Amino acid sequence: MSFTVPEQAPARLNRSELAVPGSSTRFLEKAAGSNADMVFLDLEDAVTPSDKPQARKNIIAALNDLDWSGKTVSVRINGLDTHYMYRDVVDLVEQAGDKIDLIMIPKVGTASDVYAVDMLVTQICAAKGFTNKIGFEMIIETALGMQNVHEIAAASPRNESLHFGVADYAASTKARTTAIGGPNPGYGVLTDALDDAGRRDFHWGDMWHYAIARMVVAARANGLRPIDGPFGDIKDLDGYRAQAMRAAILGCEGKWAIHPTQVDAANDVFSPSDAEVAKANAILAAMEQAQKEGKGAVTLDGRLIDIASIKQAEVMVQTAAAIKG
């Protein structure tokens, strides 16, 4: 281990994060009763410019009047390149700052963006005498944000999580797609000839692999949760689960649900299965026995396991325990 040990953000369940447009009081009410671990009340892209003032009022009323117990509540403010953002922060934090767990900052480009929001939030909380610590979730969804992802992750003690905003990221990088996440039939490789007739297979690749993997590293190196963003094809739950699983396997703790039907799938995929937990416990037991016998490595079911396996298994067991509560 390095002598530097990253401080961990407060632990919170973040398997599913339901997006709710602030313009709809009906959706806000429904969200308070959903199974999502987290909800983010949106003032940004789900709300048209003319609806923004009313959406702010709706969200402030929802934070103050609805019962959000059992969930973490976040509010997505507008980007720092708009004139909505300062009013979002001032109105929300002044009028409901003691009810907000997290503020989600979209399209973060530099560490200074985080600093600016931190300064505003800190001043307002001090003026109002709020003692709760409002955390930050940052959406990495521009080429600039991805370039600076490590500095962004380290920019404030309020930081809790990084999110991959695949749609804006595609636009910002000029990726050749109009889908919101998911695979792309054009992104793949042709195998060499498989037989004498020269037949070849086309293997689809995951065009988002690099971006998610890079964000996961920046998040983990700074003690933050990495979270995968939206999947737009709301009829395709199998596709959603597949995208969620590959994010989980890379180290993400959860995924957005941009429709309530995606919430249960996210909760399920980001909860280790009984079989995974049993295997992790078997590794811990085998390594405990190995260490008693003075061995650093043993075989379990024909595979080598060693001291690093203990840490891997502990991650699995601790995640499962946190979910059980």
Tell the smallest beta-carbon distance from residue 256 to ligand GLV (Å). Answer: 8
Nearest to 6 by CA among 214, 216, 222: 222
153 vs 166 by CB, closer to Mg ion: 166
- Per partner kind, with CB cut-offs from 5 to 8 A, the member of ligand GLV, Mg ion, none near residue 88 is none
- Per partner kind, with CB cut-offs from 5 to 8 A, the member of Mg ion, ligand GLV, none near residue 22 is none
Neighbours of 65 (CB within 10 A): 12
Tell the smallest beta-carbon distance from residue 3 to Mg ion (Å). Answer: 38
Q: Determine the 3-state secondary structure of 32 from DSSP.
A: helix
Q: Write out the two tokens for 36.
A: 């999502």
For strand 225-228 and strand 159-164, is the pairing parallel, antiparallel, or unpaired? parallel
Distance, in Å, from the CA atom of 139 to the CA atom of 120, rounded to the nearest integer, reads 19
The answer to whether the beta carbons of residues 119 and 91 sit under 8 Å apart is no
Binding mask 228-267 for ligand GLV (x = CB under 6 A): -xx-------------------------------------
- Per partner kind, with CB cut-offs from 5 to 8 A, the member of Mg ion, ligand GLV, none near residue 21 is none
Regarding 17 and contact with ligand GLV (CB under 6 A), the answer is: no
Burial 144-183 (b: 16+ CB within 10 A, else e): bbbebbeebbbbbebbbbbbbbbbbbbebeebebeebbbb
Q: Which stretch binds ligand GLV (CB under 6 A): 7-15, 58-66, 165-173, 285-293?
A: 165-173
Regarding 168 and contact with ligand GLV (CB under 6 A), the answer is: yes
- Per partner kind, with CB cut-offs from 5 to 8 A, the member of Mg ion, ligand GLV, none near residue 166 is ligand GLV
Residues in touch with ligand GLV (CB under 6 A): 106, 139, 141, 165-168, 229-230
